[in-house]
């Protein structure tokens, strides 16, 4: 190969990276270094796992997501192979091939990202939350605007959701106990609820069958629900009051296979509701509830009887709604911080990891 053709190839690789809108600056590591974090993927419903983290770069080094702390795993509602990760320190990381390779945007490639949401009718319209700012992109993440800043720079915007029946409608929750709503794609906002104790809202989750039904979770003061698109809100704490530790929140999952069904992971353990959160019943765990810390959980979107959860070292699974459980040791040393099941193929499971807290 002559020098002219060689430099043409190198230039083509560089231009391809720039055109993709990615900036691969996640981290570098020698190929001999073992880093067992980032994302792990199973293609056989949790029996075996693989770690796909290496990203070749034009400088001959290896960029890797093996050293990132993953907060959330979000699927593009129109494409289950498009996956977005929110991270503790490395901004947004994304994949368009089901996790086989990963990229970063030029902007929002560092710092903590609390949430990402993808317009279900236009996959190039993205929203993200970082600190007190809402970011919006109209071009698949190449550029971002900030249509909303909380007036208090110390208040963190913690989660958002897009109304799939009208994608101009957005809901955001924050660390000051507020729920805000926009009806024009984020241009203007109204506060539609304030939690009287100012509790930190953590997640906001929309029922996939009815966009008027929304759940807003706090870290320590229970769950609120609306059935009219945020006009009125009611607390679900009465049903939870029978279970000690159930208000210390970890995760709320909507069971897509059964209308009205919810899974709540809390300090108590796992609770299940079949009536939209009015009443709850405990799920028998392995080992017993209250004796372990649960880090993540997921339910098969096509089969309500198949439920997973993780302890610090183990994946636990039931295929009969919690009557019996099986467990497998996880092949990594980091904390299994979040778990998600591919909505199109329930055999594909992802676990996002993070470093354990310093002692």
Residue-number span of the structural domain to which 149 is assigned = 3-29+38-249+337-354
Q: For residue 98, what are its two tokens? A: 């089901």
Alpha-carbon distance 248 to 241, whole Å? 11
- Domain annotation covers residue 278: no
Closest-CA residue to 226 (of 184, 171, 292, 297): 171
- Domain annotation covers residue 269: no
- Domain annotation covers residue 16: yes
- Domain annotation covers residue 291: no
- Domain annotation covers residue 71: yes
Q: For residue 59, what are its two tokens? A: 């400088």
> From start to end of 207-325, where are the E strands?
214-218, 223-226, 234-235, 249-254, 262-266, 270-273, 281-282, 296-299, 307-310, 314-318
- φ and ψ at 6, to 5 degrees? -60, -50
For the chain, the domain total comes to 1
pLDDT at position 57 is 63
CATH value at residue 96? 2.130.10.10
Return per-residue pLDDT of the chain as tens, 359 residues.
444 444 343 334 333 433 344 444 455 444 445 588 999 999 999 999 999 776 656 555 557 899 999 999 999 999 999 999 999 999 999 999 999 989 999 999 999 999 999 999 999 999 999 999 999 999 999 999 999 999 999 999 999 999 999 999 999 999 999 999 999 999 999 999 999 888 899 999 999 999 999 999 999 999 999 999 999 999 999 999 999 999 999 999 999 999 999 999 999 999 999 999 999 999 988 776 667 899 999 999 999 999 999 999 999 999 999 999 999 999 999 999 999 999 999 999 999 999 988 76
- Domain annotation covers residue 319: no
- Are the beta carbons of 295 and 312 closer than 8 angstroms? yes
CA distances from 313 to 13, 40, 160, 339 (A): 40, 14, 30, 14
Number of other CB atoms surrounding residue 312 within 10 Å: 14
- Domain annotation covers residue 265: no
Number of other CB atoms surrounding residue 97 within 10 Å: 11
- Domain annotation covers residue 331: no
């Amino acid at each position: 190969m002559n020098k002219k053709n060689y430099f043409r190839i190198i230039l083509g690789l560089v231009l391809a990276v720039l055109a993709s809108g990615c900036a691969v600056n996640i981290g570098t590591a020698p190929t001999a270094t073992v880093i067992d974090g980032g994302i792990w993927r199973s293609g056989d419903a949790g029996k075996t796992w693989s770690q796909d983290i290496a990203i070749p770069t034009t400088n001959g080094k290896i960029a890797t997501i093996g050293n990132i702390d993953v907060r959330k795993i979000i699927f593009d509602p129109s494409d289950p192979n498009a996956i977005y990760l929110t991270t503790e320190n490395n901004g947004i990381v994304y994949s368009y091939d089901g996790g086989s390779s990963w990229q970063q945007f030029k902007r929002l490639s560092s710092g903590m990202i609390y949430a990402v949401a993808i317009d279900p009718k236009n996959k190039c319209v993205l929203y993200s939350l970082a600190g007190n700012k809402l970011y919006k992109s109209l071009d698949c993440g190449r550029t971002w605007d900030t249509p909303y800043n909380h007036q208090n720079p110390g208040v963190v915007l913690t989660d958002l959701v897009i109304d799939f029946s009208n994608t101009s409608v957005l809901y955001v929750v924050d660390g000051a106990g507020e729920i805000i709503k926009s009806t024009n794609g984020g241009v203007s906002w109204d506060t539609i609820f304030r939690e009287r104790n100012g509790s930190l809202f953590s997640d906001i989750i929309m029922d996939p069958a009815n966009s008027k039904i929304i759940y807003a979770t706090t870290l320590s003061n229970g769950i609120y629900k609306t059935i009219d698109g945020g006009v009125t809100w009611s607390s679900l704490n009465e049903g939870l009051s029978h279970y000690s530790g159930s208000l210390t929140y970890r995760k709320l999952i909507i069971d897509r296979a059964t209308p009205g069904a919810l899974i709540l992971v809390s300090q108590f353990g796992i609770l299940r509701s079949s009536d939209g959160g009015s009443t709850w019943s405990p799920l028998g765990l392995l080992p017993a509830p209250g004796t372990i810390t649960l880090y993540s959980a997921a339910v098969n979107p096509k089969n309500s009887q198949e439920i997973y959860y993780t302890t610090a070292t183990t994946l636990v699974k039931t295929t009969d709604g919690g009557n019996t459980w099986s467990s497998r040791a996880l092949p990594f040393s980091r904390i299994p911080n979040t778990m998600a099941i591919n909505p199109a193929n329930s055999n594909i499971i992802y676990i996002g990891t993070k470093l354990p807290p310093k002692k």
